[in-house]
Amino acid sequence: MSETTAKIRLGTRNSPLAMAQAYETRRRLCDAHGWGEDDVELVPVMASGDKVLDRPLAEIGGKALWTKELDYWLHEGHIDASVHSMKDVETLRPATLAIAAVLPRADTADRLVGAASIADIPEGATIGTSAPRRAAQLLHARPDCKVVSFRGNVATRLAKLERGEADCTLLASAGLDRLGEEGIGARLDPDTWLPAPAQGAIGIECRADDADTRAVLDAINHKPSYHAVMAERALLKALGGTCHSPIAVLTSAQDDVLALRCALFSPDGTERIEATHSGAANDLGWVAAMGDALLAQLTPGMAPHFGAGSH
């Protein structure tokens, strides 16, 4: 790496959406500290997950494919912090790294592209998605439909839809908004179509022992978003959730109390269980109990995809 006079070096994947998230992080850092853009150096890294697009993520190494290159650059000191879409960050992270900030969370909803609503999807339609949650939720609501694998960035998936590889697809509202695609797709109400854990949240990670960088990042940490994301990640951990696990969760907050509403599905969508628990935002011990309660409800068809059975 060349010498830099920047005050902080931010690593990011180099996909269009990841770069948009890095630009937002830089803007917030500059606003918080009175810096110019040159004070924040963006360091794009090609992630493994962006290279292999012909197979589902779960088959080729899971969420670590989005983080391992950035983790290496952090450990080696080539960057001071890395910008992540928190939905893509694996639940168990190295103890040497810390999620130091979460930016104000964007819309958590999914958007349906190709039909005005789930009910309006044509009978027997093909839906393109590689997300187990979206596939299971869709098949639960519309068992007449068929799901085919869709991977790649937003533009790639929209191009596949345009070529007729599927009739509809599902995309994160936050990602579309960050790419300036506010007009694409029909927003699905998160109260009825529960989002993915940590969807819509941008997180910044640094070395756990780097007090200076942690202090710089703390200035842009949005506490309500941080608490909600950390609770959802704690629930994922309690459920033994992996890339294969269809888990949907919606968090609401009232002062310092969080309420987590979680639905688990069998991959084919035929089975669904749901629970809502609440507790203190700054003491997440109750989330583990929520995970245990959900795991105790699992049917034989669901059990292999959660807890010890999913690993």
Q: Which residues contact 161 (CB under 8 A, 6 or more apart)?
A: 113, 114, 128, 168, 169
Q: 262 with 274: CB under 8 angstroms?
A: yes
CA distance linking residue 107 with residue 105, whole number of Å: 7
Structure tokens at 267: 């991959």
- Reference 291, options 249, 217, 235, 216; nearest CA is 235
Q: Which amino acid makes up residue 241?
A: G
Number of H helices, E strands in the chain: 8, 13
Q: Where are the alpha helices (DSSP H) in 10-98?
A: 16-33, 64-75
Out of 31, 71, 88, 191, pick the active-site residue: 88
Q: Which long-range contacts (CB under 8 A, 24 or more apart) does 175-182 make?
A: 175/17, 175/85, 176/111, 177/106, 177/107, 178/17, 178/20, 178/21, 178/24, 178/106, 179/16, 179/17, 179/20, 179/154, 181/154
Task: State yes or no: is 80 an active-site residue.
Answer: no
Burial of 124 (0-12, 13-18, 19+ CB in 10 A): exposed
What's the gap between Cα 198 and its chain centre? 5
CA distance linking residue 43 with residue 56, whole number of Å: 27
The catalytic site residues sit at 88
